[in-house]
Amino acid sequence: MTVTKEAELLPAPRTADLGEVLLETERPPRPSALSVSLTFGWRAVLKIKHVPEQLFDVTAFPIMMILMFTYLFGGALAGSPAEYIQYLLPGITVTSVVMITMYTGLAVNTDIEKGVFDRFRTLPIWRPAPMVGYILGDLLRYVLASTTIVVVGLVLGFRPGGGFVGVVLGVAALVGFSFAFSWIWTMFGLLMRSEKSVMGVSMLVLFPLTFLSNVYVMPTTMPGWLQAFVNVNPITKLVDAVRALMAGEVNADAMLWTLGYVVVLTAVFGSLTMRLYNRK
């Protein structure tokens, strides 16, 4: 009875007010492509905040790589680890960052399995925004991995001829390439049925690209048939460009090749990714 009396005391809504609300035709402005992409990028960063263990691959893994290869091959290839690290550090930075780009595909595949993508597809937003957001969020991981390796390298005796500016330019070139390279894994993240499948394909692609390159040794020491592949390997061109920038120089040929690979990877795999995303 008390509830009924209170309800009777409440003013009844006017018909005119209800009509104004129900017949409202003006929609809120649609967010821009940049705004939506940055929002999804921030979502990827928040995942790292809530699960900081995800940063092990951009901290512990790069440190392990540089220590292992410096002291394992340094004496045999360059006479001492201190000499070898001058050649190795730009290459190992490229290897470490390129290898962690595969986590973009794993994140995409995980969200698909959880059904999150079904909700994204119903939103009135720029269609590629979720994909671009994954990659934008991972840019932070690439910068952290690069910074970790350079700091450890400086402790071990690496002295870049280009100074701070050269190192920053080298890392910028690497991050730009990694952005384009990540589109490969977004495609596989949509294409494969499980995380294990994405991981397996990623390793199958990454290991030949990173080891059959100039990261660890000079290509001139390799057989001629292998040099033919190494010399056109996108990782080789990227390492040449990063090495030159960190040394305070500009390798125009390597930079042009790297820029060409960035354009081709983005155009081809970005288009394939969106085609799969729209059809899946």
pLDDT, tens only, 217-250: 888 888 889 999 999 999 999 999 999 999 999 9
Average pLDDT, the chain: 84
Show Cβ contacts of residue 191 under 8 Å, excluding neighbours closer than 6 positions: 276
pLDDT, tens only, 162-182: 899 999 999 999 999 999 999
CA distance 33 to 60: 35
pLDDT at 136: 85
CA distance 93 to 238: 11
Q: 238 with 258: CB under 8 angstroms?
A: yes
CA distance 178 to 139: 8
Has residue 88 got a pLDDT over 80? yes
pLDDT at 18: 60
Show Cβ contacts of residue 101 under 8 Å, excluding neighbours closer than 6 positions: 138, 142, 178, 181, 182, 184, 185
User: 279 pLDDT band (50/70/90 cuts)?
Assistant: confident
pLDDT, tens only, 18-74: 666 566 566 667 778 888 888 888 888 887 777 776 677 777 888 888 888 888 888
Instruction: Determine how many CB atoms are found less than 10 A away from the CB of residue 118.
Output: 10
Q: What is the DSSP letter of 221?
A: G
Residue environment code for 220-235, b if the CB has 16+ CB neighbours within 10 A, otherwise e: eebeeeeeeebeebbb
